[in-house]
């Protein structure tokens, strides 16, 4: 597994992250095997959120740590906060309570990374800054970032927050390419030219912020997966051909397509199938050519100007 440097060396992380949203569906034995397999494959970055399975995902992960003395120091745990039942909450009180809850469930003294989950339009940068300062000073959180935020929202946070914002989780897959499409269709009036995110892709590269693509196999907003889906015959034909040529699974090609982008992203894979995880990890061994990357992009139905 290749590794990537975050924010010019602040962190060194595995090129692929394992999302733990569904880990609560596994038995203790299955979860132990899954996490250990990830580590053996070189994946040492694990993504959580306080809302995943109402906190049960973090508890199951804690059980794995408890069964493997010394494991905590070999991996990085990221969690997120801010989504509540029916609303978003970036208040100082909620951020602090959320982190305390995650640490209790994970049975660990610190989070390597804390992200603010979906934007809260009522947030006050000063409150977030106070919460981050307390968490950092107490050693409860080492690093910070955001999720699903655009450049101006990030800049507003940075007006008061002192800590570097290292990550931004954003939806990206071969079938969800809005942040890429707009860059091809500059000064045009077709639908693909509409900039929906204030240029977050270019902003991230300019500010050394690592994008963590979520749902890398989905099309639409959780409508389903595009691999082995009859709705996308041309895309699957191209992906399957490349997978056969390179001796990997189609999932590896889908992840390799994201990894090929020079923005140096860290895709989050959420599988709970250990063999599929190993298949996906092989994406790190593949570097698609420019021609292959564009062929996949066009096969997804995208037209170049």
Which tokens in the block code for residue 47? 């993504």
**Three-state helix/strand/coil letters over the chain:** CCEEEECCCCEEEECCEEECCCHHHCCHHHHHHHHHHHHHCCCCEEECCCCHHHHHHHHHHHHHHHHCCCCHHHCEEEEEECEECCEECCCHHHHHHHHHHHHHHHCCCCEEEEEECCCCCCCCHHHHHHHHHHHHHCCCEEEEEEECCCHHHHHHHHCCCCCCEEEEEEECECCECHHHHHHHCCCCCCHHHCCCCCCHHHHHHHCCCEEEEECCCEECCCCEECCCCCCCHHHHHHHHHHHHHHCCCHHHHHHHHHHCCCCCCCCEECCCCHHHHHHHHHHHHCCCCHHHHHHHHHHCCCCCC
Is position 87 annotated as part of the catalytic site? no
Q: Which listed residue (52, 203, 219, 297) is catalytic?
A: 52
Catalytic residues: 52
């Amino acid at each position: 597994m290749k590794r990537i440097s975050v924010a010019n060396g602040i962190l060194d992380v595995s090129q692929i992250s394992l999302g733990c949203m569904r880990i609560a569906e596994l038995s203790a034995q299955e979860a132990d095997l899954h996490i250990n397999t990830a580590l053996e494959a070189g994946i040492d970055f694990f993504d959580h959120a306080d809302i995943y399975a109402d906190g049960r995902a973090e508890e199951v992960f804690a059980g794995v740590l408890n069964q493997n003395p010394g494991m905590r120091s070999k991996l990085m745990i990221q969690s997120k906060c801010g989504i509540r039942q029916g609303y978003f909450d970036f208040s100082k009180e909620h951020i602090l309570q959320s982190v305390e809850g995650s640490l209790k469930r994970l049975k660990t003294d610190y989070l390597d990374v804390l992200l603010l989950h979906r934007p809260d339009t009522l947030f006050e940068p000063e409150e977030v800054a106070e919460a981050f300062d307390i968490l950092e000073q107490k050693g409860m959180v080492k690093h910070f970032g955001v999720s699903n935020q655009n450049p101006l929202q990030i800049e507003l946070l940075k007006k008061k927050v002192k800590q570097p914002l290292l990550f931004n989780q954003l939806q990206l897959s071969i079938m969800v390419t809005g942040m890429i499409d707009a860059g091809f269709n500059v000064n045009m009036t077709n639908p693909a030219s509409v900039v929906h995110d204030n240029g977050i892709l270019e902003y991230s590269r300019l500010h050394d912020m690592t994008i963590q693509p979520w749902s890398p196999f989905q099309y639409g907003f959780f409508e389903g997966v595009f691999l082995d889906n009859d709705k996308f015959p041309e895309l699957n034909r191209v992906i399957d051909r490349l997978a056969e040529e390179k001796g990997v699974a189609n999932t590896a090609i889908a992840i390799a397509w994201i990894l090929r982008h020079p923005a140096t992203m860290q895709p989050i894979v959420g599988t709970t199938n250990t063999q599929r995880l190993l298949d996906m990890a092989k994406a790190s061994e593949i570097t698609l050519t420019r021609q292959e990357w564009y062929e996949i992009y066009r096969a997804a139905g995208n037209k170049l100007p």
